[in-house]
Amino acid sequence: MNYFGVKAILIHELDRFKRTLLQSLASPIITTSLYFIVFGTAIGSRIKEIDGINYGSYIVPGMIMLTILTQALSNASFAIYFQKFTSTIYEIHAAPLSSFEIILGFVGAAAIKSVIIGLIIIITAGFFVDIEIQHPILMIFFLILTSITFSLFGFIVGLYADGFEGLQIIPILVITPLTFLGGSFYSITMLPEFWQNISLLNPVLYLISGFRYSFYEVSDVSLLTSIITIFTILISCILFISYTFIKGYKIKN
């Protein structure tokens, strides 16, 4: 393991995060505040509780998951695409670094950023509503594993993107709709039976449900199913990236 090489990539990516620290931290704080103003106040005045939990508190895990998914994907995809755009990816390949070490550096940096932002959202939400984390270890588990998984997914998006516009297609047209339709701000039990069955096809639902369980011990699906889902997505991303590096598609040409 070339620890110095991995450390160099990590430090380089985290330095970029520090240079835009104000923007990176202000965005989730402002967004979280707006969610509480719009959803917590406007909708919360009509929906007092869901599963015995105050509506404002209920939507916190969904807000965190929404931000983590988009941030992890965007950070990782931009990081690797920018290397392709500037052609510095060839210098990285020329360095004594294995594919695993390259992925570890870029994905690790994106995951760290996402975890930090997730913790900031939790702190910000605490100023608006009461938050009770019943299972903190499980919460950290989902927070870290989701950040890593979608950083890997973002890495794939960055490898295959043909332009900066391509980096935005998946977050905007796929991840955000799936998150909103995955029970971020409601329980799927509030939907008609047909749409409940449709919602069960949404993988993001299982991530949000598992994460919400760590807070309030309530979820739309079983905890075991949520854990299996996140590991399935994680392993699929790892296998796909491994295949891409072996073939060299979008990397060596």
* pLDDT at position 93: 67
Q: Which of 36-40, 77-81, 148-152, 247-251 has the highest mean pLDDT?
A: 148-152
Return the higher-pLDDT residue of 98 and 195. 195
Backbone angles phi, psi at 136, to 5 degrees: -60, -35
In this prediction the pTM is: 0.87
Rounded average pLDDT over 98-113: 84
Give residue 32's domain range. 3-247
Task: Please check the confidence at residue 75 and state whether its pLDDT lies above 90.
Answer: no
Residue 166 resides in a domain? yes
Asked whether residue 251 carries a pLDDT value surpassing 60, the answer given is no
Residue 252 maps to a domain: no
Round to whole Å and give the CA distance between 82 and 74.
12
Total domains, the chain: 1
Residue 221, in any domain of the structure: yes
Looking at the domain assignment, is residue 131 inside a domain?
yes
pLDDT value, residue 140 = 94
| The predicted structure's pLDDT at residue 3 | 67
120 occurs within a structural domain = yes
Average model confidence (pLDDT) across the chain: 82
- pLDDT bin (cut points 50, 70, 90) of residue 137 is very high
Q: Reply yes or no on whether the pLDDT at 138 is more than 90.
A: yes
Q: Is the pLDDT of residue 5 over 70?
A: yes
| pLDDT band per the 50, 70, 90 thresholds, residue 148 | very high
Residue 82 has pLDDT above 70, yes or no: yes
**pLDDT of 189:** 85
- Residue 19 falls within a domain, yes or no? yes
pLDDT bin (cut points 50, 70, 90) of residue 229 is very high
What is the per-residue DSSP string for the chain? --HHHHHHHHHHHHHHHHHTHHHHHHHHHHHHHHHIIIIIIIITTT--EETTEEHHHHTHHHHHHHHHHHHHHHHHHHHHHHHHHTTTHHHHHHSS--HHHHHHHHHHHHHHHHHHHHHHHHHHHTTTS----S-HHHHHHHHHHHHHHHHHHHHHHHHH-SSHHHHHHHIIIIIHHHHHTTTSSS-GGGS-HHHHHHHTT-HHHHHHHHHHHHHHS--SS-HHHHHHHHHHHHHHHHHHHHHHHHHTTTTT-
Residue 253: inside a domain: no
Question: Is the model's pLDDT at 217 over the cut of 60?
Answer: yes
At 208 the pLDDT is 92
Q: What percent of the chain shows pLDDT beyond 70?
A: 89
Report for 17-21, 48-52, 97-101, 142-146: range of highest mean pLDDT: 142-146
Q: What tens digit of pLDDT does each residue of 168-187 get?
A: 787 778 888 888 888 888 88
Instruction: Look at residue 213 and tell me if it is in a domain.
Output: yes
pLDDT band with cut points at 50, 70 and 90 for residue 253: low
| pLDDT higher than threshold 70 for residue 204 | yes
Would you state the pLDDT for residue 41? Answer: 67
